[in-house]
């Protein structure tokens, strides 16, 4: 999926044993905003195939743990990482922390989820917004007060308006289009630090 375009980042990911080129998006976000730190408990939504998981699980060592979910069948390669647990689950069906095998809320929530695209702009934008709204809906249950947040968003007028309304949930809220994002892509990332919710 993520290795379709064989560009510089594709080759770099192959060489560095990452499962997808998307890793460089999270790396750039983290270098700039310091979202992930050692010993954090992290929730990785739409983790498959797992390059964000590979990167984040290293940054949070020695004491941190990562839980990932995706609708895809569990990636066995990722399951072998010691501080990682992954589940085959749809974000729309997750109701509680206990389903994710944890009792406490997470220190950071990262979401690279994207719907399968149809090529029909209005349909793709609506599906993407539904996922974004679902993640924000879950924030009070999944993210600790003071926690950090990254979410992929497909740009649209509706998305801009929606994010503007959510901004005050965080001490700091920023947008970034990482260098490794293809120039034709409409995606960008919203990055929140210091969650003010319960």
- Alpha-carbon dihedral angle through residues 93, 73, 153, 81, given to the nearest 10 degrees: 110
Q: What are the φ/ψ torsions at residue 65 (nearest 5 degrees)? A: -130, 150
Select from 35-43, 84-92, 96-104, 162-170 the region that touches ligand SAM (CB under 6 A): 84-92
Binding status of residue 68 toward ligand SAM by CB under 6 A: no
Q: Measured from the CB atom, is 37 or 187 closer to ligand SAM?
A: 187
Whole-angstrom distance, CA of residue 19 vs CA of residue 162: 32
Binding status of residue 97 toward ligand SAM by CB under 6 A: no
Q: Which of 25, 65, 105, 152 is catalytic?
A: 152
Residue from 22, 30, 41, 181 in contact with ligand SAM (CB under 6 A): 22
Whole-angstrom distance, CA of residue 97 vs CA of residue 43: 10
Determine the distance from the C-alpha atom of residue 181 to the mean position of all C-alpha atoms in its chain, rounded to a whole number. Answer: 14
Binding status of residue 112 toward ligand SAM by CB under 6 A: yes
Binding status of residue 52 toward ligand SAM by CB under 6 A: yes
Q: DSSP alpha helices (H): ranges in the chain? A: 8-15, 23-33, 51-59, 76-79, 121-142, 157-166
Residues labelled as active-site residues? 152
Binding site for ligand SAM (CB under 6 A): 2, 19-20, 22-23, 46-52, 69-72, 90-92, 112-115, 131
């Amino acid at each position: 999926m993520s290795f379709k375009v064989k560009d510089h980042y594709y080759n770099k990911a192959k060489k560095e044993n990452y499962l997808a080129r998307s890793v460089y998006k999270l790396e750039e976000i983290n270098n700039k905003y310091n979202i992930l730190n050692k010993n954090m408990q992290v929730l990785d939504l739409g983790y498959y195939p797992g390059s964000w998981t590979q990167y984040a699980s290293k940054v949070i060592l020695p004491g941190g743990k990562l839980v990932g979910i995706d609708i895809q069948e569990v990636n066995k390669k990722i399951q072998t990482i010691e501080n990682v647990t992954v589940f085959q689950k749809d974000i729309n069906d997750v109701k509680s922390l206990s389903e994710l095998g944890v009792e406490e809320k997470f220190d950071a929530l990262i979401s690279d989820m994207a719907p399968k695209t149809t090529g029909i702009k209005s349909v793709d934008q609506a599906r993407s917004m539904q996922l974004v709204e679902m993640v924000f809906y879950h924030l009070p249950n999944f993210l600790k007060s003071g926690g950090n947040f990254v979410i992929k968003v497909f740009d649209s007028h509706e998305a801009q308006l929606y994010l503007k309304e959510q901004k005050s949930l965080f001490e700091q809220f920023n947008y970034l289009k990482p260098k490794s994002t293809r120039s034709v892509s409409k995606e960008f990332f919203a990055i929140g630090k210091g969650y003010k919710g319960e």
